Structure 1
Amino acid sequence: MKNLPMLGLGWVRHARLKPARHAFMYRGLFVRLPMRSARSMRFAPLGLAGRLFGHDRAALVSFHDRDHGLGDGASLAWLEGLLAESGITDADGEIWLHTFPRVFGYGFKPVSFWYCERADGSLRAVLAEVNNTFGERHCYLLAHADGSAIRPGQLLHAAKVFHVSPFNPVLGSYRFRFLARQDRSLARVDYHDAEGCVLETSISGEHRALTTGTLSAALARTGWFTAAVIARIHWHALKLWLKRVPFYTKPTPPSDLVSR
């Protein structure tokens, strides 16, 4: 059976533990796209769902290559070159992209995850692609130095080098955990400073075939989700400011697009 595009329906969770507690949880939707399988077919097997879902074209829900990588419309080729440059030559299976789609032409993607598999389906590497509200992007390439597979729930670390929230300094580290299956997924990212955990965040959901029916139902339930992302970012920023959480000015972004 060919790898087919999937629709993810689930939850976005965020909990700040200090210096003031603040938490929220929202329903969300994402797409799970088999990028290598789609290289030649451009998601053609969608059938009637193709009337609602577009690849590099206008549609109610759409995916655009230029929203990822270098922004030149060749995101998969860029990622494959990055893997080769990093010595990850055995990620020769599917590459799944979990990302928020554009809805009604608009999209903001705080984080997307590229799951890079071996031919046997084991997870060799994950690229976490982060965008901030200043139009900047940085990626964290996560893989074991010894080449072993990333197991479900296994802890991976990355030093924080990129400014995302003005309520967190560019210090400390991220701790990543992943569960990526055909039927469901969970990506958890916790931010730690020298004294312990500051933020706990996660994106989780169940995967369903991307059909006219599932897409229509998702739009009816969460069609507002993508447009609301930016509004919610600013709304919760106001709440943090009112709670007197320290504010940090934006530093110069890192010169390298990818941290390894």
Structure 2
Amino acid sequence: MELFYLLCSILSAFFTSLVLSCLLPFRALLRCLCSSRSVGSSAATGEDPVSLYEGTVWHERRRPVHHSFRYAVRYALVDIDSAPNVLPDHLSGDEARRIAGTTGPVFLLTIPPSVGYEQNPLSLYYCYDLAASTQNLKQCIAEVTNTPWGERVTFVFNPNFDLVAKPLHVSPFMDMYGNWSIKANVPGDNLLVAITVQHPKLGNYFTATLTAKKVSSSLVVDRELFFWLMPHKVAIWIYWHALKLWWKNVQFIHHPKCSNPAYREEASVRDRKLKCCQASGLGEDEHMLVGGSGPDFVADNYEEDRWFSWRDAKWPWC
């Protein structure tokens, strides 16, 4: 049933995107005509709530077999207070500030849906604090969505550097034991997001990075054309390299909901222990042990848990 649904969803996305792609030039022409009439009002405001970035995603798996790849990506950085209706399937500015405990603007880095299809493994909220006349990046919120299930986990992390116990089954070729080491810079002309996976048996065995540069708005004729088929390309890379890993005999791991329905609660417990380790200054080896099958210790005196939120898969993946 799940395989049949996957094939049907792929065919549905293909034909929907084909039809909308044929209409895209006409829609772009219509938007061009409308924008030429309102150029005076847009020039008066002077600021665009959406910035565009173009760059590269790089993945490297070092164990149990070596496998690496890179592909070109395009992202949008959206001021979600100034453009609240651009991306409805995400947090609002007020929700992000409440979760992150910040007081300033919030920007969302994401791949927008294109011609009826969305594929977004990682979206980031940059949450700023207001201090006098300056703005300081205080917290980030990550939205991680897995393929093909479409489940999502949302959590807060320190952009300078943070360790997070893996809370989501993002790949059928990775188990749930491990920690995500994650950091992100302040988005400006250049943008960087780096994630490594620290595993109790495989060590520091996986790295993923996003590096991108800001694109001048004068070089982009139309945003929908700029992102045309971008989500589709990401999906193709995900499935193609999953097939390559299977061909290399990397162990296929079923979704933990089949064997361990409490995996989310266990991830929260591991993360609480991990934060205790960080607070007590333990080294990388101890962090990896806490994230996996290493020795337990009492963490009841740690009061502040990391904020996690999960979105369930849709039928028939649920």
Give TM class, smaller chain.
0.7 to 0.9
Distance in 1 (CA, whole Å) between partners of 2:124 and 2:51 is: 14
Question: Residues 59-208 of structure 1: matches in 2 within 5 Å?
Answer: 64-66=87-89, 68-69=90-91, 75-83=92-100, 88=101, 91-119=102-130, 120-133=134-147, 134-143=149-158, 150=159, 154-195=160-201, 196-208=203-215
Cα distance, 1:5–1:209 mapped onto 2, change above 3 Å: farther
1:28-86 deviation per Cα after TM superposition (whole angstroms, max 9, x unaligned)? 100000112334xx5xxxxxxxxxxxx3xxxxxxxx312x24xxxxx334323323xxx
Shift of the alpha carbon at 1:219? Answer: 4.0
Matching residue's letter, 1:138? V
Distance in 2 (CA, whole Å) between partners of 1:138 and 1:248 is: 19
The alignment partner of 2:125 has SS state of: strand
**5+ residue gaps, structure 1:** 43-54, 56-63, 70-74, 144-149
Shift of the alpha carbon at 1:249? Answer: 0.6
1:136-155 deviation per Cα after TM superposition (whole angstroms, max 9, x unaligned)? 11012113xxxxxx5xxx32
In terms of fraction of residues, the more helix-rich structure is: 2
Matching residue's letter, 2:200? A
- Aligned positions, number: 215
Shift of the alpha carbon at 1:217? Answer: 8.9
Shift of the alpha carbon at 1:181? Answer: 2.8
Candidates 24, 29, 37, aligned match of 2:74: 29
Matching residue's letter, 1:139? T
The alignment partner of 1:189 has SS state of: strand
In terms of fraction of residues, the more strand-rich structure is: 1
Q: Any conservation in 1 of the 2:97–2:106 contact (CA below 8 Å)? A: no
* Further displaced range: 202-211 or 236-245: 202-211
Q: Any conservation in 2 of the 1:114–1:126 contact (CA below 8 Å)? A: yes
Shift of the alpha carbon at 1:104? Answer: 1.7
Counterpart residue number, 1:259? 308
Shift of the alpha carbon at 1:197? Answer: 1.2
Q: Any conservation in 1 of the 2:192–2:211 contact (CA below 8 Å)? A: yes
Q: Any conservation in 2 of the 1:29–1:225 contact (CA below 8 Å)? A: yes
Cα distance, 1:181–1:79 mapped onto 2, change above 3 Å: closer
Shift of the alpha carbon at 1:2? Answer: 4.8
Distance in 1 (CA, whole Å) between partners of 2:164 and 2:228 is: 33
Cα distance, 1:158–1:98 mapped onto 2, change above 3 Å: same
Question: Residues 209-224 of structure 1: matches in 2 within 5 Å?
Answer: 209-210=216-217, 213-216=219-222, 219=225, 223-224=228-229
Q: What percent of counterpart residues are identical?
A: 27
Distance in 1 (CA, whole Å) between partners of 2:224 and 2:193 is: 20
Please give the TM-score of this superposition, normalised by the length of structure 1: 0.74
Q: Any conservation in 2 of the 1:161–1:171 contact (CA below 8 Å)? A: no
Shift of the alpha carbon at 1:209? Answer: 4.4
Cα distance, 1:78–1:215 mapped onto 2, change above 3 Å: farther
Distance in 2 (CA, whole Å) between partners of 1:215 and 1:28 is: 18
Candidates 210, 234, 239, aligned match of 1:234: 239
